[in-house]
Chains A and B, each alone.
Chain A
Amino acid sequence: MPVPPELASDPAIAGPLGSLALSVVAPRAPTLALRALRWHRDLQRLGIVLPLFVVHDLGLLLACDNEQLEVGPRVAVDTLLAAEPAATSAHRAYNEMVTEIAASEAARRSQSLRMGDDLVVVLLARLLGVIAEQVATTLSDPAGLPLDAQLVEHLGPQLPALFTSVPRHRETATLHGLVARRLLLLTLVDALDLDTLALFGLVGGDAATGAVAQVDLLSALGAPEANDVVDFSLEILPSVLEAKARPGASSHAAFGYAGLTRKGSIDSLVLTELAWDEQEMMRRLADDEVFYYSREQARDEARRIHLVLIDASASMRGDRATFARGMAIASAKQLMLAGEDVVFRFFDAHLYEPHSARHGQLPVGHVLSFKGERGRNPAKVFRELVNQLEIQALRDGRQPIVHLYTHAALYIPREIVAALTRLAHVAAIFMLPSGNQLHLDYLDLLHTHWVVDHQALTSRHTRAQEARRILGDLDGKASAWRAGAATGDGGEALAPRTGPSSRPQATTRRGQV
């Protein structure tokens, strides 16, 4: 007996577990049911309150292979609901609805994504959020159901008793509500955007890092413009991912040896060093003249920090934001693969907090869902950025490289751009200027810039092509900076450029570097 008698009468246990009698999806492994308990708990935290059986059934259909599941009533529901004929027929309709969902494209694709619990919760929230609002089940299950695998193992025989141990008005009301909204639920399932979740898989999104990221992702899933960002990112990412992580010499122990270095641990000491006499050996050690074998792959701390600065002002509304954020995600991934440190920052009239890419994961949810649009004050924002970079220069030896994604009417005072370019390399991408005109008086100060016009974005073939070209150019610049760093000169000189300003053209173009 999975639920001991002393717990079987506790509404906090019998309530949710007993509702599984109405479930029409049976997992072949009890651990899967345990996952459902977690989804149920997390959804309640997000304010989506529905009986466990609904969360259980839909969650399993989206998260697990069909081979791991059996679709159909788990107990004799007709007997349990004998007193309520309407509920019995609602349950039958519910069973049919779940069968339809099991056969849907969304279920097929989501199963292949092998999502973690956090992503499943986000997906369920997207599907069930509207339903939960409309199906008036205001009372949540009492807290206290432990996430214990034993509670759900071989639960089937005990389900009727657990079901009848507490009143089930809420469950039957939910059944009626769901059936009445069958088309709504099925449409939501059919229109589900799984590409965002696929993007997480590709770039190492941060959904697993907690509730805040879950909320970000949920918000991104609900925003049509975020879908465009995702599609665009997915369109250009494969070319980014083709670029293998560059091997680099390092003192850390990983994979094979790459060369010789003056730093290292005793286990990678070049053996011939031991041939020196003791005194000379000590001197060489003290003067850092001893040779060590350097390791491949794990690299020393990057010497550059890439600041991906994305305009979040209202001027970016629509296609500008799509292209800017999609490009930002792809270029950040590319830089990370090259072993660079990347930090995202948004700005409108304020410069918002930095979000670092950590452990190979980009803050995708944040990038997709961030909403600024509180004014615009580039003079203040870039003055603040210059101040911060000046302070950072004192504490952090890394060379800052600013990647600016913005619109064509960002009027930064020229003297501020000049100050910025003295502190950092600045690469700017200007999105979709109205009337295809770009007249900014600071373009000649930038180290490099591109303009993406409407024609490039709306053309099916050129869009991704242009994006890849810009990414390629960026990669080229990054390589140049890396090469500069390797030779010890810190990359290209940071003096303001005096090249000709970019002239408007009909297609995407790149400014003079």
Chain B
Amino acid sequence: MIELFARLNAEGDLEELYGRARSQARTQPDQAIELLLSALLHTHGREESYAGVTQLLARLLVEQRQPRMALSAAWYAGNADDQRRLLENVPAIDRARTWAHWADREPESAVHHYRRAASELEHEGLLARAAVYYERAADPEAARTLWARLAQLLEGRDTDSYAAGLALFNQARTSHQLEDRSATRSATVAAVHRLEEAADRFEAIGQRERAFDCYHVLVAVGRLSGEFEHVLEGSVNAIRILTEDNLRYHALRLYEHAIRLAEQAGEHSAAATLAREMTDHARKQGMGHLARRYTMRQSQLWQRVAQGNTERGGPPQLSENAYLASLLAAVEAEQYGRVGALFRELAKLDIEPARTAHYARAARRYDDQQDARPETGGAEDRLGEHVAPPDVWHVDLLEWESGGSAAEACADVLLDPDALGDRITRRSTLVARLAALAAELAPEQSRPAGDTIVASYLAPVGLYELLAPLERLAASDEVEVRLAAVRALSRYFYKRTFVTLERALTDVDERVVGEASSAIERLRFDHAFDPLSRIYRTSGAAKARIAALRALARIDVAESAELALGVLDHGGPEEQQEMLAALRASRGDQFISAARAAYPGASQRLRVAIQDVFRHRGAAL
């Protein structure tokens, strides 16, 4: 069957292929299936025709005794009766997925479907998915047992500390639902140990996006256990990672969210320090409107700290400091009327009389002062709400349990209720799932060829959820498979992609190294600065270093501009020429402003290079 996928081509239009397949369905079912699979490649076709293709394909695949593939087509078509007929001939995982899918569509019988699915998977030893389904079936007791078993299984493995941390957190969550305080406590402590360890390790090896997930879970741990220390730890570090990755809007949204959480927990000082950092961040990013708005928020938060402290009868010095901090923020925002009011508050505090007299005197200076009118109207003012990442304590464990299976990862996407609206991606995923199932059925000697084909079908999907299968394929013993996987990865614009590509740069086969270098050059996005600069600094492959430089030249962030100036000034001749060529063609403003600032103190070599870039881009120095 897998050879069929090697032959597929999208020539002709969807309706024509469908029509031909229908006419051949009875007489030449093999031909019809090939035509229908080719039709599936028309991912932009009309839904009516596409659904028809999948229904006919499902029927023919049943006749060809391919129940898993038939069920996959039926999942897309969405006909429950067709699916039901296939259930007894498919493995437990597919049955369970189908029931879970029905549960999503039929809320009134959701508990029944989920429980059935969970029980089926539990017998198969798929603990994580079974536990998730038990949770959805509102059976925390059964779920907790499975999470505990999984945690125990993972506890001894050093390389799986993240998965162990997640399993333990799930154990803590379900124990909390069961109001078992002691079990909640011990599972929480163990989870925090493993998550802290995992976050530190991920940061050390440059996988900050995975560390981000750990911090996200830590916030959830804090909210579950009521220990705000964990919420702070998770939030502040998650913000740090977003900031370092130049994801400025995400960082600001998370700042807002963390401030709200701190206020809810009565941690006003922590909220005020977060507001101060948020102001600095916005200013550093050149977001003037937001910086001014946050400065005012900062001023208000410090004032709240002072008022709260005074109301509680706290030390007046704390109130004084908080009022002064509020006042300095107000000055920054040119709110001089407010400054006067704050000085008057300071004059009322129970502190040294000399100081209150001083504050009263100072207050008079602002008697006639008005607050500057806050500027509004910038598009950047509308930041929106922070959207928390998905429940990674489920999602990542399911990924871990799937062990990099392309068929399973594709099934997750295909049946994801949130992905129903994205037809094109669903269609690409369906084809990839069918190819992956065909590859699994292939005889041992055809497996490498099958994996190569699967990688090529995974390429157009580009979803984060399919990275794990590509990572597994990129670690294959077969060069062709690695090559196809690395080629596919060039369409996966995630920081995690670089982990596999960096490994590919040390491949024994030159073609894989070349393909990885090409992929690196294509993967240019703002938060790729970190891995790209690491590749430039550390890679032994000259091609890869040059590719990283070319990509860096096209990333419009301040750090990248600084690095470009460094290469122009101190890089080897080839690196300098490549950087020059890339900068001439780039469009970002960051390099222009960084170069202007550096020009007066620049070396002769750097000046010549800067002049060259400016001349080609028509910019004035």
List the interface of chain A (C-beta within 8 A of B).
104-105, 130, 183-184, 186-188, 190-191, 193, 224-225, 227-228, 231-232, 235, 313-315, 317-319, 322, 349, 373-380, 407-409, 411, 413, 433-435, 439, 441, 457-460, 463-464
A184 touches B315 (CB 8 A): no
Give A171 Cβ to nearest chain B Cβ, in Å: 21
Question: Given A187-B339, A319-B269, A439-B185, are A411 and B193 also a contact pair (CB < 8 Å)?
Answer: yes
Q: Does B230 contact A (CB under 8 A)?
A: yes
B270 touches A317 (CB 8 A): yes
Question: Given A434-B265, A460-B316, are A408 and B229 also a contact pair (CB < 8 Å)?
Answer: yes
A435 touches B317 (CB 8 A): no
> Among A130, A225, A375, which residue has its beta carbon within 8 angstroms of that of B237?
A375
Give B283 Cβ to nearest chain A Cβ, in Å: 11
CB-nearest residue of chain B relative to A100?
B365
> Among A183, A224, A376, A460, which residue has its beta carbon within 8 angstroms of that of B196?
A376
A375 touches B270 (CB 8 A): no
> Among B228, B302, B318, B358, which residue has its beta carbon within 8 angstroms of that of A190?
B358
Q: Which residues of B contact A235 (CB under 8 A)?
A: 315, 317
Give B176 Cβ to nearest chain A Cβ, in Å: 14
Q: Which residues of B contact A349 (CB under 8 A)?
A: 196, 199-200, 203
Q: Which residues of A contact B235 (CB under 8 A)?
A: 314
Q: Which residues of A contact B446 (CB under 8 A)?
A: none
A190 touches B240 (CB 8 A): no
Q: In the complex, A183→B236 CA distance in Å?
A: 34
Give B160 Cβ to nearest chain A Cβ, in Å: 16
Give A188 Cβ to nearest chain B Cβ, in Å: 7
A188 touches B331 (CB 8 A): yes
> Among B196, B262, B327, which residue has its beta carbon within 8 angstroms of that of A191?
B327
> Among B192, B237, B269, which residue has its beta carbon within 8 angstroms of that of A322?
B269
> Among A130, A188, A313, A459, which residue has its beta carbon within 8 angstroms of that of B233?
A313
A105 touches B322 (CB 8 A): no
> Which one of B26-34, B137-145, B306-314 is at the A interface?
B306-314
Q: Which residues of A contact B237 (CB under 8 A)?
A: 314, 373-375
A187 touches B229 (CB 8 A): no
A318 touches B315 (CB 8 A): no
> Among B197, B302, B313, which residue has its beta carbon within 8 angstroms of that of A380?
B197
Q: In the complex, A228→B318 CA distance in Å?
A: 6
Most buried by A among B229, B240, B365: B229
Q: Which residues of A contact B228 (CB under 8 A)?
A: 434
Give A371 Cβ to nearest chain B Cβ, in Å: 10
> Among A375, A377, A463, which residue has its beta carbon within 8 angstroms of that of B315?
A463
CB-nearest residue of chain B relative to A454?
B266
Residues of chain B in range 312-345 having any CB-CB distance to chain A below 8 Å: 312-318, 320-322, 324-325, 327-328, 331-332, 336, 339, 343
Q: Which 3 A-B residue pairs are closest in the complex by CB-CB distance? A: A224-B325, A314-B236, A318-B269
**Number of residues in B with C-beta < 8 Å to the partner?**
61
Q: Does B226 contact A (CB under 8 A)?
A: yes
A379 touches B196 (CB 8 A): yes
Q: Does B93 contact A (CB under 8 A)?
A: no
A188 touches B328 (CB 8 A): yes
Give B245 Cβ to nearest chain A Cβ, in Å: 15
Q: Which residues of A contact B200 (CB under 8 A)?
A: 349, 375, 377, 380
Give A96 Cβ to nearest chain B Cβ, in Å: 12
B339 touches A231 (CB 8 A): no
Q: In the complex, A435→B366 CA distance in Å?
A: 42
Q: In the complex, A411→B232 CA distance in Å?
A: 15
A315 touches B226 (CB 8 A): no
Question: Given A184-B331, A375-B196, are A409 and B230 also a contact pair (CB < 8 Å)?
Answer: yes
> Among B267, B313, B325, which residue has its beta carbon within 8 angstroms of that of A317?
B267
B269 touches A225 (CB 8 A): yes
> Among A184, A190, A314, which residue has its beta carbon within 8 angstroms of that of B232?
A314
Q: In the complex, A25→B272 CA distance in Å?
A: 39
Q: Does B227 contact A (CB under 8 A)?
A: yes
Q: Which residues of A contact B240 (CB under 8 A)?
A: 373-374
CB-nearest residue of chain B relative to A373?
B236
Q: Does B369 contact A (CB under 8 A)?
A: yes
B227 touches A190 (CB 8 A): no
Most buried by A among B226, B354, B365: B365
Residues of chain B in range 47-100 having any CB-CB distance to chain A below 8 Å: none
Q: Which residues of A contact B328 (CB under 8 A)?
A: 187-188, 191, 224
Q: Does B273 contact A (CB under 8 A)?
A: yes
Q: In the complex, A225→B196 CA distance in Å?
A: 26
Q: In the complex, A183→B354 CA distance in Å?
A: 22
B324 touches A458 (CB 8 A): no
A228 touches B321 (CB 8 A): yes
Q: In the complex, A411→B199 CA distance in Å?
A: 15
Name the prevailing secondary structure of the A interface residues: helix
Give B268 Cβ to nearest chain A Cβ, in Å: 8
Question: Given A224-B324, A409-B227, A434-B229, are A190 and B199 also a contact pair (CB < 8 Å)?
Answer: no
Give B219 Cβ to nearest chain A Cβ, in Å: 11
Give A16 Cβ to nearest chain B Cβ, in Å: 20
B324 touches A227 (CB 8 A): yes
CB-nearest residue of chain A relative to B330?
A187
Q: Does B211 contact A (CB under 8 A)?
A: yes
Question: Given A193-B324, A314-B236, are A375 and B226 also a contact pair (CB < 8 Å)?
Answer: no
Q: Which residues of B contact A319 (CB under 8 A)?
A: 267, 269-270
Q: Does B224 contact A (CB under 8 A)?
A: no
Give A39 Cβ to nearest chain B Cβ, in Å: 23
A315 touches B229 (CB 8 A): yes
Q: In the complex, A423→B185 CA distance in Å?
A: 29
Q: Which residues of B contact A378 (CB under 8 A)?
A: 196
Q: Which residues of B contact A184 (CB under 8 A)?
A: 331
Q: Does B348 contact A (CB under 8 A)?
A: no
A413 touches B193 (CB 8 A): yes
Q: In the complex, A228→B269 CA distance in Å?
A: 10
Q: Does B154 contact A (CB under 8 A)?
A: no
Q: Does B362 contact A (CB under 8 A)?
A: yes
Residues of chain B in range 184-205 having any CB-CB distance to chain A below 8 Å: 185, 189, 192-193, 196-197, 199-200, 203
Q: Does B355 contact A (CB under 8 A)?
A: yes
CB-nearest residue of chain A relative to B363?
A190
Q: In the complex, A187→B342 CA distance in Å?
A: 11
Q: In the complex, A409→B232 CA distance in Å?
A: 11
B267 touches A224 (CB 8 A): no
Q: Which residues of B contact A314 (CB under 8 A)?
A: 232-233, 235-237
Give A446 Cβ to nearest chain B Cβ, in Å: 17
Q: Which residues of A contact B317 (CB under 8 A)?
A: 228, 231-232, 235
B270 touches A434 (CB 8 A): no
Q: In the complex, A441→B358 CA distance in Å?
A: 51
Q: In the complex, A374→B320 CA distance in Å?
A: 30
B233 touches A411 (CB 8 A): no
Q: Which residues of B contact A315 (CB under 8 A)?
A: 229-230, 232-233
CB-nearest residue of chain A relative to B314?
A458
Q: Which residues of B contact A190 (CB under 8 A)?
A: 343, 358-359, 362
Give B212 Cβ to nearest chain A Cβ, in Å: 11
A-B contact pairs, 23 of them (CB 8 A): A130-B332, A184-B331, A187-B339, A224-B302, A224-B321, A225-B273, A228-B317, A228-B318, A318-B269, A318-B270, A349-B196, A374-B237, A375-B196, A376-B199, A408-B227, A409-B227, A409-B233, A411-B189, A434-B227, A434-B228, A434-B229, A459-B313, A460-B315
> Among B229, B236, B355, which residue has its beta carbon within 8 angstroms of that of A105?
B355
A375 touches B322 (CB 8 A): no
A318 touches B302 (CB 8 A): no
Give B12 Cβ to nearest chain A Cβ, in Å: 56
A-B contacts besides A183-B336, A232-B315, 9 pairs, CB < 8 Å: A105-B358, A224-B272, A317-B273, A376-B233, A409-B233, A434-B226, A434-B265, A460-B313, A463-B314
Q: Which residues of B contact A191 (CB under 8 A)?
A: 324, 327-328, 331
Q: In the complex, A349→B218 CA distance in Å?
A: 14
Q: Which residues of A contact B322 (CB under 8 A)?
A: 224
Question: Given A228-B321, A322-B269, A349-B200, are A187 and B331 also a contact pair (CB < 8 Å)?
Answer: yes
Give B275 Cβ to nearest chain A Cβ, in Å: 11
A231 touches B318 (CB 8 A): yes
